[in-house]
Structure 1
Amino acid sequence: MRVNSDAAAVTLAIIGCGQRGNAYATYAKVFPSACKIVAIAEPRSEARAAFAQNYGVDRSLVFKDWREFLDASRDTVKTIGRRLADAVVVCVQDSIHVEVAVAFAEQGYHVLCEKPMATSIEDCVRMEKAVKNAKIIFGMGHVLRYSSFNQEITKVIRSGELGELVNVVHIEPVGHWHFAHSYVRGNWSREAQSSFSLMTKSCHDIDLICHWLSPATPTRISSFGSLKHFKKAAKPVEAGNATRCLACPIRKTCPYSAERIYLDEIKKGRKTWPVDVLVDGVPDIENVTHALNTGPYGRCAYESNNDVCDNQVVNIEFSNSSTASFTMIAQTSLICERQTRLHSSHGELVADASTNTITLADFRTRQQRVLTPPPPSKGEVAYNKHGRGGHGGGDFGLVRAFVEAVSTGQQEVLGTDVGEVLRSHLAVFAAEKSRKEGVVVQCEEFFGDFTC
């Protein structure tokens, strides 16, 4: 049930006002008639104040902690019989996704949860059960499904234009400095504090592959990978004993130099990601320099305490005998601009997100044609000169679908449900089991232990 069913705009509460919270919330700026940010919860004082001002959130609905917001909502439900918003957008750290999502689902809030669902199989199952019991709309941050680029590919597959899909080859080029930022120095660098990198970075790639090959389901999964490069054994001799970038003799030429990744960008006037995550407040030269001298983002990429894989391959066999291979690789010049090849019975599709081109080759006619995803709307262009926001429009596409689903009360608008979300996460867990134990995972047995 909507909080304000007479109002056109769906009301949202943002739980966690970091990079992802901002990415999703921006949709309300571009399309204010569709949704409105009415409440936030964020522990960092300057980030909290800036976010509240940017979205015009009433001070009474600005909270320092998600529990504060939950308690206030509980009181409101008791006193006036309604929640503080229609839905919550959960963008806290991965390890507490389940705690936050379950708590708000139990209060009857619709939930949009950033990926991954949770960091353990047991917690993923717990979230699925809570969502089903609450009968709420549930969205998952598998944004790749919702980009116009990938939706064009999905249309081709579903149309049968090239025949039956036989094989998928999909590559996620994380990007050399992006990996150093997020998975060597950042919040996703250690499995114990977050999760393994295939889950935190690429669970939406595995989900996309499963989506493309559905209704077939995974039957066998194998995987190989390691932390090959970002470790002390690979440290350049020229770096000597330096443990921090700003004191390193090769900081001007090292591809992973914090000076190059952060300070050089600020000098160019860039104050968005990745530099904005280093400080609470304005990321200027002084503040960022201090952060690099004292915090994790200034550590040598070869002297950090990271332990997650920087390269991994996953092989999947499906119930219809189709196959897929996925590669996640850190050492690339492209930053998350995927490349995909789809091999079908009567044709081939080659997609390159870096050039925004999709090329179809029909074996029967011996002709090729190039597809170009539809252009962004005027509102999206006004927001971002490249259009569509992040992930090739996937961020906006996800929020658009979630808001419509909440507005209409139809989970189907999202094109998935919490049960399917759980199953694609299980495929990721199965891949990691294969990598660590050196086995081929039989999916029916593995999935059956955790699904009905």
Structure 2
Amino acid sequence: MPLVSNAKNLWRKSIHLHDPFNNHNMGQDVAARHTDPVTLVIIGCGQRGKKYAAYALDEPTKCKVVAIAEPRPKTRKSFADAHHVDQTLVFNTWQDLHQASADTIKTVGKRLADAVIIAVQDHMHLEVALAFAEQGYHILCEKPMSTNLDDCLKMEAAVKKAGIIFGMGHVLRYSPYSKALTEVVRSGTLGQLINVVHIEPVGYYHFAHSYVRGNWAREEESCFSLMTKSCHDIDILCHWLSPGTPTRVSSFGSLQHFRKISKPPAAGSATRCFDCAHEKECPYSARKIYLDPVSQGNTHWPASTIVDGVPDIENITSALKHGPYGRCVYECDNDVCDNQVVNLEFSNGATATFTMIAHTSLICERQTRLHFSHGEIVGDMNTFTVTNFRTGQTKKHVPKNEGGGHGGGDTGLIRTFVEAVRTGRQSVLGTDVSQVLKSHLTVFAAESSRREGKVVDCFEFEKEARKKVII
């Protein structure tokens, strides 16, 4: 790894390749004045960082990855190799990258790139965002903004102060499916939107991977599951029902199944799948979820996320024998909800209900019904059917799926963010940091309702939250 102090000459050599802005006033939202690719820094080269950065490989004339920070050596090397990142701009930690940026701003008068993509663990989002916003970088932050409400408010303030373009990983907004559906909602052809019923089927093994064995299993180390998994579902409900805003919310939910009390008797005292007599009959078997797919040539998610480097049989077997992903799901220390319902009332009188449920065969393929005064829409993230009560006609829409995660939403978001940076227009993203914060506030209010067993007034909730934070 290069030492920060040894990289200055190569920063100078490389900086002329990606200098779209006049940095005399770095905090201002300045449109790019060139046709060169938008340059990106990737902080965190795991699954989400790779998803967003893939756009640079698919559309090299649109954007280019010029610097990265990633602590895992094999992941770091493969990412840097894939994007041909100069070794002087490959860092072990985001702090080293940030220092390199500070040095090049001081000595050369330029940032290392146009924008930063923040794809580190959720609890780190605020400190990374504050550091790079202060240096004037535009920011695309993976969801959620942060794991506590105070930090979300601080991020909003920092982004506003810096005057930068800000994108949030609310990818549901940007898929071809959602954009086509939203177009029908906004057209007014079905009249007033009165009610939405929205379900997220997380998927039985997806939940076991991420929220029982994985990084989002414990609230103390991450956040509650409604935030880490479903904040973009609440966001798209707010998007569809705008300009109405949430006024009241109630919520119910708990951890029902992934507990020791639910452990099959045949599993006995086994704490790891490789030692369990019941493993072959268990749907949550680590062997079934990770090892069997790899043995059949499927080295993608989720197996690719549990090792540093190539997810081959040897590496996966070792990870399952010794690491967290080989544990019995009934013997883990997880504590986040595996089912939750949210009821919302909006300022325009509309209502919405949202359900997050772990125990499904579908993996994140949301199911939605939108009820209007003169029609309805029924969709499943792949197709949606519009019924117009006035004409009696029903039409099925099949938006083109561009590939990539979330029905093309991952690609849609990064494409839109890059265009917003290129043009210097926040409006290209269709939202801003305050609207992003508003939907996060709604999620926090829902969790407050679940914990306290009461209906929460969203306006009062925000008022009290802002009073407590010193910015």
Q: Which deviations, in whole Å up to 9, do the C-alpha atoms of 1:94-142 show, x marking residues without a partner?
A: 0010000110000000000000000111000010000000000000000
Q: Which deviations, in whole Å up to 9, do the C-alpha atoms of 1:245-273 show, x marking residues without a partner?
A: 01111212211000000000111111111
Match of 1:210 in 2: 238
1:292-307 equivalence runs, <5 A: 292-307=320-335
Q: Which deviations, in whole Å up to 9, do the C-alpha atoms of 1:398-418 show, x marking residues without a partner?
A: 001100000000000000000
Q: Which amino acid aligns with 1:406?
A: V
The answer to whether structure 1 residue 47 and structure 2 residue 65 are counterparts is: no
Match of 1:73 in 2: 101
Q: Which amino acid aligns with 1:134?
A: A
Q: Which amino acid aligns with 1:2?
A: P
The answer to whether structure 1 residue 2 and structure 2 residue 20 are counterparts is: yes
Match of 1:431 in 2: 446
CA distance in 2, matches of 1:320, 1:400: 32
> How far off is 1:451 after superposition?
5.2
For residue 449 of structure 1, give the secondary structure of its aligned residue in structure 2.
helix
CA distance in 2, matches of 1:222, 1:142: 22
1:182-193 equivalence runs, <5 A: 182-193=210-221
CA distance in 2, matches of 1:54, 1:357: 34
The answer to whether structure 1 residue 418 and structure 2 residue 436 are counterparts is: no
CA distance in 1, matches of 2:466, 2:385: 38
CA distance in 2, matches of 1:50, 1:229: 38
The answer to whether structure 1 residue 397 and structure 2 residue 423 are counterparts is: no
Of 64-73 and 274-283, the range deviating more from structure 2 = 274-283
For residue 160 of structure 2, give the secondary structure of its aligned residue in structure 1.
helix
Q: Which amino acid aligns with 1:162?
A: L
The answer to whether structure 1 residue 320 and structure 2 residue 338 are counterparts is: no
Match of 1:366 in 2: 392
Q: Which amino acid aligns with 1:114?
A: E
Match of 1:139 in 2: 167
Match of 2:9 in 1: none
Q: Which amino acid aligns with 2:44?
A: G
Q: Which amino acid aligns with 2:386?
A: L
- Quick one: which of 61, 79, 84 aligns to 2:89? 61
CA distance in 1, matches of 2:144, 2:220: 15
Q: Structure 1: any 5+ residue segments left out of the alignment? A: 377-386
Alignment RMSD: 1.1
CA distance in 2, matches of 1:2, 1:343: 46
> How far off is 1:8 after superposition?
2.2
Of 361-370 and 442-451, the range deviating more from structure 2 = 442-451
Q: Structure 2: any 5+ residue segments left out of the alignment? A: 1-18, 22-31
CA distance in 1, matches of 2:320, 2:297: 18
CA distance in 1, matches of 2:463, 2:296: 53
Match of 1:241 in 2: 269
The answer to whether structure 1 residue 38 and structure 2 residue 66 are counterparts is: yes
Q: Which amino acid aligns with 1:76?
A: T
CA distance in 2, matches of 1:75, 1:61: 13
For residue 281 of structure 2, give the secondary structure of its aligned residue in structure 1.
coil
CA distance in 1, matches of 2:465, 2:189: 36
CA distance in 2, matches of 1:36, 1:10: 6
> How far off is 1:5 after superposition?
4.3
Q: Which amino acid aligns with 2:167?
A: G
Match of 1:382 in 2: none
Q: Which deviations, in whole Å up to 9, do the C-alpha atoms of 1:277-335 show, x marking residues without a partner?
A: 11111111111111111111000000000000000000000001100000000000000
> How far off is 1:7 after superposition?
4.3
Q: Which amino acid aligns with 2:205?
A: W
The answer to whether structure 1 residue 338 and structure 2 residue 366 are counterparts is: yes
Q: Which deviations, in whole Å up to 9, do the C-alpha atoms of 1:371-396 show, x marking residues without a partner?
A: 111x35xxxxxxxxxx4211101001
Of 75-84 and 356-365, the range deviating more from structure 2 = 356-365
1:19-30 equivalence runs, <5 A: 19-30=47-58
- Quick one: which of 413, 418, 421 aligns to 1:406? 421
TM-score, normalised by the number of residues in structure 2? 0.92
For residue 350 of structure 1, give the secondary structure of its aligned residue in structure 2.
strand
CA distance in 1, matches of 2:81, 2:68: 11
CA distance in 2, matches of 1:451, 1:370: 44
> How far off is 1:87 after superposition?
0.3
Match of 1:446 in 2: 461
CA distance in 2, matches of 1:372, 1:160: 20
Of 261-270 and 4-13, the range deviating more from structure 2 = 4-13
Match of 2:28 in 1: none
CA distance in 2, matches of 1:358, 1:283: 37
Q: Which amino acid aligns with 2:436?
A: V
Q: Which amino acid aligns with 1:215?
A: P
For residue 368 of structure 1, give the secondary structure of its aligned residue in structure 2.
strand
Match of 1:230 in 2: 258
TM-score, normalised by the number of residues in structure 1? 0.96
Match of 1:165 in 2: 193
1:74-113 equivalence runs, <5 A: 74-113=102-141
Q: Which runs of 4+ in 1 moved over 6 A?
A: none
CA distance in 2, matches of 1:347, 1:49: 53
> How far off is 1:450 after superposition?
3.8
